[in-house]
Amino acid sequence: MNSFEGPRPVVDGHVLSVDGDGRVLVDGRRPQAGDGVARAIAALVLDGLATDGLAVDAPERGIAVDQTNTSVIVDDRFVVKIVGRWAAADRAGHLLERLAEAGSDDVARLHGRVGWRHPELGESTLAIVTEYLPGAEDGWTWAVDDVVAAVEAEAGSAADGGPAGSADPTWPATLGTKVARIHDVLGAESTPSGADAASARRDRAADALARAVAAGDGPTGVRLRNRREALARDIRSLEATSPGIEFPIHGDLHLGQVLVSPDADAPDGRRYTVIDFDGDPQLDAADRERADAAARDVAHLLVSLDLVAAVAQKRLRRADDRAWSWADRARADLLAAYRAELTRTDLFDPALLPGFEAEQLAAELHYADRFLPPWRYAPDAAITHRYASTNETPESPWTPPPFEPTST
């Protein structure tokens, strides 16, 4: 790994620094596409590789959806992710190197990473350079498009007397297979969980639910409180699970972390690529670094299928049970494919899924309450659909908010 040295190294005429809050800055501000830093980092990595060189004026384009770090497309061939905070990419760099060494094609090809040796902070990863996937879209776009199409096709098929699910996409099984292969590689570093793992998992999930309930208001809050006991029941099931084993999982696995790009050689013309191994952004840095159970990744991905079904109903401008029926089939297909492909079967304990799913939905709702209120409708929909209501408080049925042709 190539590294820069010193407290204020110069990159392509620009000075790097770390402020008191740990933010990585270029000339006192956040790095950005066009300043040449990403191009210089890519050139440093490529100098040690048997690949085409990089022109001194190679173009840079920003990726607007990356809010934590700065991701820049260089020369329409490489993605350079420059960390927003010190040490933020150490975990991702390590895991991507492990997967690259194993020859994984389930993640973007890693070209290399660049470090920074700081006299006070030590050594850390400054940037990661991966392949650029032309025409790629994340799952909040392509998966929603597919579900909307499947629901509309099923509606038309039902009118003609056709079978339900005949137009379902096959990618849920593909994703299950890919995640199993990733876990097999990363699971080589597995260790036994602590004796208190079951109680620690229960407490973490119960805290997530308590925070969501405390923050919830309006019709969403009423629906959540009516389902609090059903969610809590699944969370309490974590008490009876065995400690099992854990390893460095993805940690923030959802359909938004799966890119689709054109691939003429694939059966469905698509390549599915798992990205962003930085861990769960809702956890502090120390917790993100901790090993965890494989079931958490699987639970997060299963929950995201329900969230996609909710977004699809927003796009359809109506509540439609066919979207939930699709989610049921997709969840079953993904889980079956995952279990069939996983070589290290001891990595996965399905008994953890109900508690982890309940925790993730509560965490999604609490995140939306705090940072992204327009997103509340999606976890609200999944909770309302998946969990039984006590009907203690009169509630209105969930309906999707008005659709506007902008990203969620």
**What are 328-356's pLDDT values in tens digits?**
999 999 999 999 999 999 999 999 999 99
Domains annotated on the chain, with CATH: 2-131 (no CATH), 137-386 (3.90.1200.10)
Instruction: Determine if residue 257 is labeled as part of a ligand binding site.
Output: yes
Instruction: Determine if residue 229 is labeled as part of a ligand binding site.
Output: no
3-state SS, 338-354, equals HHHHCCCHHHCCHHHHH
Instruction: Determine if residue 52 is labeled as part of a ligand binding site.
Output: no
The tokens for 153 are 């096709």
Per-residue pLDDT tens over the stretch 279-288: 888 887 777 8
Instruction: Determine if residue 313 is labeled as part of a ligand binding site.
Output: no
Per-residue pLDDT tens over the stretch 84-132: 999 999 999 999 999 999 999 999 999 999 999 999 999 999 999 999 9
**Radius of gyration of the chain measured on its C-alpha atoms:** 22
CA-based max dimension of the chain: 71
Q: How many Cβ atoms sit within 10 Å of the Cβ of residue 388?
A: 11
Instruction: Determine if residue 314 is labeled as part of a ligand binding site.
Output: no
Instruction: Determine if residue 278 is labeled as part of a ligand binding site.
Output: yes
Per-residue pLDDT tens over the stretch 38-88: 999 999 998 866 566 788 899 999 987 656 789 999 999 999 999 999 999
Contact status, residue 282 vs residue 343, Cβ threshold 8 Å: no
pLDDT at residue 314, rounded to an integer: 97
Q: Are strands 2-5 and 110-118 parallel, antiparallel or unpaired?
A: parallel
Contact status, residue 312 vs residue 322, Cβ threshold 8 Å: no
> What is the mean pLDDT of the segment spanning 168-195?
97
Q: Indicate the DSSP class of residue 70.
A: E
Per-residue pLDDT tens over the stretch 249-275: 999 999 999 999 999 999 899 999 999
- Round to whole Å and give the CA distance between 164 and 155: 9
Is 0.85 surpassed by the pTM of this model?
A: yes
Which residues are registered as beta bridge partners of 271?
261
- Please report, rounded to a whole number, the percentage of residues in the chain having pLDDT higher than 90: 85
Q: How many Cβ atoms sit within 10 Å of the Cβ of residue 53?
A: 11
Q: Check the CA dihedral 33-34-37-42 and report its sign.
A: positive
Contact status, residue 372 vs residue 207, Cβ threshold 8 Å: no
Contact status, residue 265 vs residue 396, Cβ threshold 8 Å: no
- Round to whole Å and give the CA distance between 350 and 83: 35
Instruction: Determine if residue 359 is labeled as part of a ligand binding site.
Output: no
